[in-house]
Amino acid sequence: MFGHGLGQLLNRVQELLGPSDPSCLTCGRRTRLTRELPGICPACFRMIPWITSIRCFQCGRAIGCPDCSRPGADERAFVLNRSAVMYNGPMREWLAQYKYRGNERYAELLGEMIVRPYVQLEQDLRVVLGNSETSGIHSADRLIHAVTSVPVSEARLQERGFNQAEVLAELLAGKVKLPYVGLLRRVRHTDKQSFKNRMARLKDMGSAFDRDPNACMRLSQIAERARGKRRAPLRILLIDDIYTTGSTADACAHVLQSYETELDMPIEVYCLTWARS
């Protein structure tokens, strides 16, 4: 009996002094972590609602999309959007932890998650372009030439201390070896879009963005390299955290295409978001 009690005591001391399992970032449990994504356990990884089957080729939604079937949807300034996950309750909490509560540990997690739809976007882009435009381009070469992000207003930047879309864009650009360039600025502060319906979003985004006056020279250098590889037009990837109606992406894409005059080169805009609502 004494030996049994001593054994329990020694085990307890070893637990206190020895290395313990790390805590899962998203559920807080002490357990082994998955190798698939940084900081989370296998159980939390399994519950991620990845978008694995796309119903709408343009916006990347996993279910039927009424927005893309509306008149005028084919006049959007961006070519297509791809997203990593469906925006359900747990994903809403993950984004809130990062975006509104400033938990910076989520940045690497979300940044790693957004690589998956980027790979899908590259594959779909090769289908869109066809053999005539991709002949001579190695399968490992990137069809996207530059990455940029949806900007936030100065008021929002002061409130949060960072631009979540910019952080995701820079993380992705580093992972896939593409240049990141800040091409846009927000010229009008808007209320949070999550509280607005589709028509209010479309109206609100109309004049919210403009070009960054310091970006043209950097973009010109990227365009010259693309021109040298005979990959016209210039393809820009726009990053945001959530795609809802496409109003933000469309407004930004219109501004990005205004660089065409200075570059003397057509521009195509593709969108990538962490979540699709």
**How does the average pLDDT of the chain come out, rounded?**
87
Question: Is the pLDDT confidence value at 194 over 60?
Answer: no
Residue 268 CA to residue 144 CA, distance in Å, equals: 9
Q: What percent of the chain has pLDDT above 70? A: 82
Q: Three-state DSSP class for 151?
A: coil
Of 9-13, 56-60, 94-98, 204-208, where does mean pLDDT reach its minimum? 9-13
pLDDT-based confidence at residue 137 (cuts at 50, 70, 90): low
Q: What percent of the chain has pLDDT above 90? A: 66
> What digits encode the pLDDT tens for the residues 236-269?
999 999 999 999 999 999 999 999 999 999 999 9
Question: Is the pLDDT confidence value at 7 over 90?
Answer: no
State residue 228's pLDDT score: 75
pLDDT-based confidence at residue 72 (cuts at 50, 70, 90): low
pLDDT-based confidence at residue 142 (cuts at 50, 70, 90): confident
> What digits encode the pLDDT tens for the residues 92-128?
999 999 999 999 999 999 999 999 999 999 999 988 8
As given in the structure block, the two tokens for residue 203 are 């109206």
State residue 71's pLDDT score: 73
Is 52 within 8 Å of 61 (Cβ atoms)? no
Q: Beta strand 184-186 with 209-211: parallel, antiparallel or unpaired? A: antiparallel
List CB contacts of 189: < 8 A, sequence separation 6 or more.
153, 154, 155, 156
Is 272 within 8 Å of 258 (Cβ atoms)? no
State residue 191's pLDDT score: 63
Average pLDDT over residues 198-207: 66
Is 273 within 8 Å of 83 (Cβ atoms)? yes
> Among candidates 12, 13, 36, 40, which has minimal Cα distance to 26?
40
Q: The pTM is what?
A: 0.85
